[in-house]
Structure formats: structure tokens, C-alpha cells
Amino acid sequence: MDKKKSVPEFVDNERTLNQLSERGVDYARGYVIDKSVPVDELKPVKPFIVMSK
């Protein structure tokens, strides 16, 4: 069975990014990372870089 991936969109702040990381999310996209790109151009963001809390 293939492992499915979810990609949260519109991640626009570090707090949300950190919460996603804590929940085991491997990919995200939004302005906190960079401008949106097609899913086949996504880069892994683990480990997330925690800049502030």
C-alpha cells in the first residue's frame, strides 16, 4: 500500500509551521516558507527550522 501525503497549504506563520511539525507533517506550503509552487516541485521541510516560539 502506498503511503499518502497531505500537504497543508496557506501556512503563513511560524507558529502554524511548528504545530504541523509537532504533529508529524513532512511537507507544507505557504508564505512562511516561500511562494506557492506545484506539488511536484515541493521540497521536504523536515526538520522544520524553529525561529521563535
| pLDDT 10s digits, 8-26 | 888 889 899 889 888 888 8
53 vs 44, more confident: 44
What pLDDT does 33 receive?
A: 72
| pTM of the complete model | 0.55
In the chain, % of residues over pLDDT 90:
8
First to last CA, the chain: 37
Number of independent structural domains in the chain: 1
Cell numbers representing residue 35 in the block:
511562494
| pLDDT reading at 48 higher than 80 | no
Q: Residue 42: give the domain boundaries.
A: 1-53
What pLDDT does 49 receive?
A: 53
| pLDDT reading at 51 higher than 60 | no
**Nearest by Cα to 21 from 50, 53, 52:** 50
Cell numbers representing residue 12 in the block:
503563513
**Sequence-distant (≥ 6) Cβ neighbours of residue 2 within 8 angstroms:** none
